[in-house]
């Protein structure tokens, strides 16, 4: 899970731009692992083919963001077997580990996410500062 907090008055007052920018962060992370991920028109998140790799949901109040994204790194995908994820019938859910066929070091993913957030939002990232990780295995 990632919950970036940005004051969009210091970037752009544009929620669509912000959502596309968050998607871009994860698309770049996926590329770092050799995965061709992208967007699907009308369906927020990051997709690999017909399967969702990242779900997104943000809240903006007074142009300050909260909430963010759920990046399926090592997610137990059985939780999605009996539901229609994000209300999109005919589509599935995947994870980085499933796509790569084996375990992925969470710290490597976190480093890449933080680095690409810095690039996409043109900010200097300070490791260890306000970066909390929760892993559910």
Q: For the segment 32-71, what is each residue's pLDDT rounded down to a tens digit? A: 999 999 999 888 999 999 999 999 999 999 999 999 999 9
pLDDT band at 80 (very low <50, low <70, confident <90, very high): confident
Q: Decide if 2 is inside a domain.
A: no
Instruction: Note whether 96 and 104 are within 8 A (CB).
Output: yes
CATH number (domain holding residue 98): 3.30.930.10
- Number of structural domains (the chain) is 1
86 given a catalytic annotation: yes
What pLDDT was estimated at residue 127? 64
Q: Which domain holds residue 116?
A: 8-120
Q: Decide if 136 is inside a domain.
A: no
Cα–Cα distance, 97 to 103 (Å, whole number): 5
Catalytic residue among 35, 86, 120, 125: 86
> Has this prediction a pTM greater than 0.85?
yes
Q: Is the pLDDT of residue 136 over 50?
A: no
């Amino acid at each position: 899970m990632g919950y970036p907090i940005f004051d969009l008055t210091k970037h752009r007052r544009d929620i669509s731009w912000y959502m596309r920018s968050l998607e871009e962060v994860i698309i770049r992370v996926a590329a770092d692992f050799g995965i061709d991920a992208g967007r699907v028109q009308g369906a927020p998140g990051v997709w690999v083919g017909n399967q969702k790799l990242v779900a997104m949901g943000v809240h903006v109040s007074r142009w300050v963001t909260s909430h963010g994204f759920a990046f399926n790194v090592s997610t137990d995908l059985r939780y999605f077997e009996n539901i229609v994820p994000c209300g999109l019938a005919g589509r599935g859910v995947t994870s980085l580990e499933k796509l790569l066929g084996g375990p992925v070091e969470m710290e490597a993913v976190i480093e890449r996410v933080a680095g690409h957030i810095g690039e996409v939002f043109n900010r200097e990232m300070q490791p260890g500062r306000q970066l909390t990780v929760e892993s559910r295995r």
